[in-house]
Amino acid sequence: MLAESSNLNNNIEHRAVIKYFVKKRKTPKEIFENMVSVLQESAPSYTMVKKWARLFQQGQESCEDDPRPGHPVTVVTEENVRKIEKLVLADRRIKLWQIAEELQISKERDSRRNYTRAYEYEKNQCALGTKNANAV
């Protein structure tokens, strides 16, 4: 986690330098050569310099990445785990698609990965007899 945070800070610092040089009307090639001479192996790739130089020339002000579209990972919650537990205890032969339908969770493969562990754990607990369906 610390390495990711450090890498993110470096990226933002690199972009700030690129932004500065774009305002000084330097070309991406000049920016890249200057950064490599100072930062050596820590310098961003030429492709990245070109990308950010173009974005800053087009008027982007922020040095941070734009938020990415996509499904936030909110499927694994205590409430959903309890619901899965209850469903599995009631019918240990329940299928993943049935759980997804019952909890109104996407049936896509990526979403399934989020709650499969809880499902498998509860199913195994029932099979081993360590949980009782009537206990919930």
Specify if 13 maps to a domain.
yes
Specify if 106 maps to a domain.
yes
pLDDT of residue 103: 81
What is the 8-class DSSP label of residue 6?
H
> Does the structure show a pLDDT above 90 at 23?
yes
Specify if 30 maps to a domain.
yes
Specify if 46 maps to a domain.
yes
Q: Which residues does 82 contact at the CB level (< 8 Å), separation at least 6?
A: none
Which pair of tokens denotes residue 65?
A: 């990445």
Using 50, 70 and 90 to split pLDDT, how confident is the model at 21? very high
CA 97 to chain centre: 24
Q: What is the tens place of the pLDDT at every residue in 35-89? A: 999 998 889 999 999 999 999 999 988 888 777 777 655 566 788 888 888 888 8
Specify if 95 maps to a domain.
yes
**Number of structural domains, the chain?**
2
Residues 83 and 114 in one domain: yes
Residues 88 and 52 in one domain: no
Q: Which domain holds residue 88?
A: 78-135
Buried b (16+ CB within 10 A) or exposed e, 104-123: ebeeeeeebebbeebbeebb
Own/partner contacts of 31-40, CB < 8 Å, gap of 24 or more, are 39/14
Residues 43 and 89 in one domain: no
pLDDT of residue 75: 60
pLDDT of residue 64: 85
Of residues 5 and 19, the one with the higher pLDDT is 19
Residues 94 and 131 in one domain: yes
pTM of the model: 0.48
Residues 49 and 88 in one domain: no
> Does the structure show a pLDDT above 90 at 115?
no
Look at phi and psi of residue 59 and say left if phi exceeds 0, alpha if psi is from -120 to 50, else beta. left
Rounded Cα distance, 37 and 7, in Å: 20
Residues 47 and 87 in one domain: no
Specify if 27 maps to a domain.
yes
| Average pLDDT score over the chain | 78
Of residues 101 and 18, the one with the higher pLDDT is 18
Residues 7 and 37 in one domain: yes
Using 50, 70 and 90 to split pLDDT, how confident is the model at 27? very high
Rounded Cα distance, 115 and 44, in Å: 38
